[in-house]
């Protein structure tokens, strides 16, 4: 183990994940972003691959999922965050951004964290708020950001403008803890789906399975929602249109769904 005062870089560092999780990579092979691969694999693609392996050690690990997800979100923020400025203010704003010192930003952040008053800021620190009022952050590709939520809203408004106001609003909440299908996805091969009421383990063990395998819970959620839209509402995902038979409410022109 090595120690030091400087942080280890997460970009172009194929040894990072292997060093952080030696129990998942016991032979030191198969790291992320290996330069010798004939076909390059992105960080996010390999993370999804590891979580979908038959060997469930990656999804059962207590910290791998959280650390990798945090790294993916950081990369999205680094690579897909942009600034939008009015054309008239572009010249002055560009100079002001270049002139702001990192120490000033830290002082302003600390002042706000301590719930200080804006009147207590220095002239240099007040320039930061002037910049914030002129600059808008565009981060629609960053998962979970406010900009991504605004993108969803704009898409919904565009759907309303093209197809009209939706006739039905509903919330789907599949319960994996009480589903025999989820228990089967978790690896319980004793579940007999041919029975109307399959025998399952007690509620405590079902809850522990749900907490222990969030990847299976996500797969169950996606499968349930897609099956509901396909078989209940008669939507053909391959042809991207309603089936000839339609569903319980007739033929769909379009639908839009988001995750809470």
Among 132, 163, 194, identify where a domain stops: 163
On whether both 144 and 190 belong to a single domain, the answer is no
pLDDT in tens, 104-159: 888 888 888 888 887 788 888 888 878 877 777 767 677 777 778 888 899 999 99
On whether both 92 and 158 belong to a single domain, the answer is yes
On whether both 24 and 64 belong to a single domain, the answer is yes
- Total domain count for the chain? 3
43 in Cβ contact with 71 (< 8 Å): yes
Kind of pairing between the strands at 82-85 and 135-138: antiparallel
CA distance 177 to 223: 15
Beta-carbon neighbour count of residue 32 at 10 Å?
A: 22
Among 51, 78, 105, identify where a domain stops: 78
| 133 part of a folded domain | yes
On whether both 93 and 72 belong to a single domain, the answer is no
| 65 part of a folded domain | yes
Which CA distances in Å does 169 have to 172, 230, 257? 10, 17, 10
The 3-state DSSP class for residue 236 equals strand
Alpha helices in the chain (DSSP H): 15-20, 43-51, 57-60, 64-79, 90-99, 102-113, 123-134, 146-163, 180-185, 203-212, 214-227
Confidence of residue 2 (pLDDT cuts 50, 70, 90): low
On whether both 102 and 65 belong to a single domain, the answer is no
14 in Cβ contact with 31 (< 8 Å): yes
This prediction's pTM: 0.74
Among 129, 163, 197, identify where a domain stops: 163
On whether both 96 and 159 belong to a single domain, the answer is yes
The token pair at 152 is: 């969803």
Tabulate helix, strand, coil % of the chain (nearest 5): 50, 5, 45
| 143 part of a folded domain | yes
| 147 part of a folded domain | yes
On whether both 95 and 159 belong to a single domain, the answer is yes
On whether both 152 and 105 belong to a single domain, the answer is yes
Residue 229 has pLDDT above 80, yes or no: yes
On whether both 133 and 189 belong to a single domain, the answer is no
User: What is the span of the domain harbouring residue 217?
Assistant: 176-242
| 7 part of a folded domain | no
On whether both 111 and 64 belong to a single domain, the answer is no
Greatest mean pLDDT among 5-9, 85-89, 100-104: 100-104
């Amino acid at each position: 183990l090595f120690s030091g005062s400087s942080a280890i870089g997460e970009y172009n560092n194929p040894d990072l994940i292997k060093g952080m999780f030696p129990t998942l990579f016991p032979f030191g092979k198969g790291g992320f972003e290996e330069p010798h691969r004939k076909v390059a694999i992105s960080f996010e693609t390999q993370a999804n691959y590891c979580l979908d392996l038959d060997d469930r050690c990656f999804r059962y690990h207590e910290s791998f999922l959280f650390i990798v997800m945090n790294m993916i979100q950081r990369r999205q923020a680094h690579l897909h965050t942009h600034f939008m400025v009015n054309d008239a203010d572009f010249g002055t704003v560009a100079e002001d951004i270049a002139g702001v010192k990192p120490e000033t930003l830290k002082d302003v952040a600390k002042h706000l964290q301590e719930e200080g008053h804006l009147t207590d800021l220095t002239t240099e620190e007040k320039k930061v708020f002037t910049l914030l009022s002129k600059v808008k952050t565009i981060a629609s590709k960053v998962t979970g950001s406010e900009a991504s939520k605004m993108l969803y809203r704009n898409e919904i408004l565009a759907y309303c403008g093209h197809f009209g106001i939706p006739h039905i609003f509903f919330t789907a909440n599949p319960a994996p803890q009480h589903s025999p299908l989820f228990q089967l996805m978790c690896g319980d091969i004793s579940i007999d789906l041919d029975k109307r009421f399959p025998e399952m383990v007690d509620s405590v063990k079902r809850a522990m399975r749900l907490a222990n395998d969030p990847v299976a819970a996500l797969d169950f959620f996606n499968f349930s929602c897609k099956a509901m839209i396909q078989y209940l509402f008669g939507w053909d995902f391959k042809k991207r249109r309603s089936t000839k038979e339609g569903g319980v409410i007739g033929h769909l022109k379009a639908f839009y769904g988001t995750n809470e």
